[in-house]
């Protein structure tokens, strides 16, 4: 099993350009997440999908959109990139059966620079 | 606002000693707690989780939970240079799939 995969690994954009970050998991997990990680800020939740067919905003959703394409895939789109979106983006997945919560498994990350 | 607080460090510990990493959380209703390790330039990976008061041991790692004090800790025995990483504490407060809050992490350095 590959676990959680992300593409691309690195990306440089100019201000105003758009791009889509791809994420896929092969663990048959119900829930998927997009985080950004910035120095001194920790992991911040952008959007999540609790189950196939649903998506919800997290802590920092402005400037992003998401699509849960199917149970395996969850993409993150930047419509008009801004320098403030320079960050490392992590996709994660979990089984999430409610209750006490469960382990989130992270992909390798995408390092995005917006010039 | 639910918060998870960690000392950013760096915490420097000699090889072979016990490393003690601490975490406090603001939401008294938090139900379970996770420790992740993150090497520089890599993604977080789970070390262990705990949801009952007391200690939970897994190899060289021991997680300790004190709900009355809203305090979680991770002890690493016989520290190795390969343990040098940033350790993230996370608390799950319920309410849905977005109920997990991460701390900013503690940078641990094991000195050979």
State the nearest Cα–Cα gap between B17 and chain A, in angstroms. Answer: 27
Residues in chain B with CB shorter than 8 Å from the CB of A105 are 46
| Two structure tokens written together for B10 | 């760096």
Q: Which residue of B has its CA nearest to A43?
A: B102
Q: Which of A25, A33, A43 to mutate to test the interface with B (most CBs of B within 10 A)?
A: A43
State the nearest Cα–Cα gap between A115 and chain B, in angstroms. Answer: 21
Beta strands in chain A, from DSSP E residues, in sequence order: 4-7, 10-13, 19-25, 31-38, 42-49, 56-57, 64-68, 74-78, 87-94, 105-106, 110-114
- Whether B75 and B64 have beta carbons less than 8 Å apart is answered as yes
Residues in chain B with CB shorter than 8 Å from the CB of A108 are 42-43
Are B42 and A108 within 8 A, CB to CB?
A: yes
Burial A48-66 (b: 16+ CB within 10 A, else e): bbbeeeebeebebbeebeb
- Whether B38 and B47 have beta carbons less than 8 Å apart is answered as no
Per-residue pLDDT of chain A (115 residues; tens, 9 = 90+): 789 999 999 999 999 999 999 999 999 999 999 999 998 888 999 999 988 989 999 999 999 999 999 999 999 999 999 999 999 999 999 987 666 668 899 999 999 999 9
Contacts of B88 (CB under 8 A, 6+ apart): A42, A43, B6, B35, B36, B37, B38, B44, B102, B103, B104, B105
| Two structure tokens written together for B64 | 């300790």
Q: Which residue of B has its CA nearest to A89?
A: B43
Which pLDDT score is estimated for B98? 80
């Amino acid at each position: 099993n590959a676990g959680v995969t992300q593409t691309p690994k690195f990306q440089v954009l100019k201000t105003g350009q758009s791009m889509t970050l791809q994420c896929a998991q092969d663990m048959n997990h119900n829930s998927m997440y997009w985080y950004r990680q910035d120095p001194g800020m920790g992991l911040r939740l952008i959007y999540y999908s609790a189950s196939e067919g649903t998506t919800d905003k997290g802590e920092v959703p402005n400037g992003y959109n998401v699509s849960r394409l199917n149970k395996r895939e969850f993409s993150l789109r930047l419509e008009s990139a801004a320098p403030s979106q320079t960050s490392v983006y992590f996709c994660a997945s979990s089984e999430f059966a409610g209750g006490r919560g469960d382990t989130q498994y992270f992909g390798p990350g995408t390092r995005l620079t917006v010039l | 606002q639910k918060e998870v607080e960690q000392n950013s460090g760096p915490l420097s510990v000699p090889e072979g000693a016990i490393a003690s990493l601490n975490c406090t959380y603001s939401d008294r209703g938090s139900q379970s707690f996770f420790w992740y390790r993150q090497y520089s330039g890599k993604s977080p990976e789970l070390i262990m989780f705990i949801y009952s008061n007391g200690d939970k041991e897994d190899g060289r790692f021991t997680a300790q939970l004190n709900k009355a004090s809203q305090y979680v800790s991770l002890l690493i025995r016989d520290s190795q240079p390969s343990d040098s990483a940033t350790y993230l504490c996370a608390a799950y407060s319920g309410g849905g799939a977005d109920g997990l809050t991460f701390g900013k992490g503690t940078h641990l350095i094991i000195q050979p």
